[in-house]
Amino acid sequence: MKNPVGTSFDDFLNEQLRDPEIKAEYDALTPRYELIKAIIAARTEQGITQTELARRVGTKQNNISRFESGAHMPTLDFAGKVAAALGKELHISLR
């Protein structure tokens, strides 16, 4: 999809990632957003609302919303509880 000035998001992103500082920050955030995408995918595949997930985790819906939006980086304990509430395991690896 093109934006009004004719540049696709992928083109824009690729151009921005040529800047080493931007690339470093993007790479640093990648694990965070991979976790968020995995949680959202698991929740939606199971047909679970944020409210239901929050109930299972023992937290408030707005905490799930902030986590899924990327506005809040959870502790590993919280991420593990969310994963468990979805019937999943949280695995972390160093590469």
Q: What's 30's domain CATH number? A: 1.10.260.40
Does residue 23 form part of some domain?
yes
pLDDT attached to residue 4: 53
Instruction: Give a yes or no: residue 2 inside a domain.
Output: no
Which pLDDT score is estimated for 1? 46
Half-sphere exposure of 41 (CA within 13 A, CB side): 7
What residue ranges of the chain have pLDDT lower than 50? 1-2
The pLDDT value given to residue 32: 87
Q: Which domain holds residue 14?
A: 9-85
User: How many folded domains does the chain comprise?
Assistant: 1
* In a domain? residue 92: no
Q: Let me know if residue 93 belongs to a domain.
A: no
Evaluated on CA atoms 84, 59, 69, 67, the torsion sign reads negative
Residue 4 counted as domain residue: no
Q: How far apart are CA 50 and CA 40, in angstroms?
A: 9
Query: Does residue 36 lie within any of the structural domains?
Result: yes
Q: Is residue 75 part of a domain?
A: yes
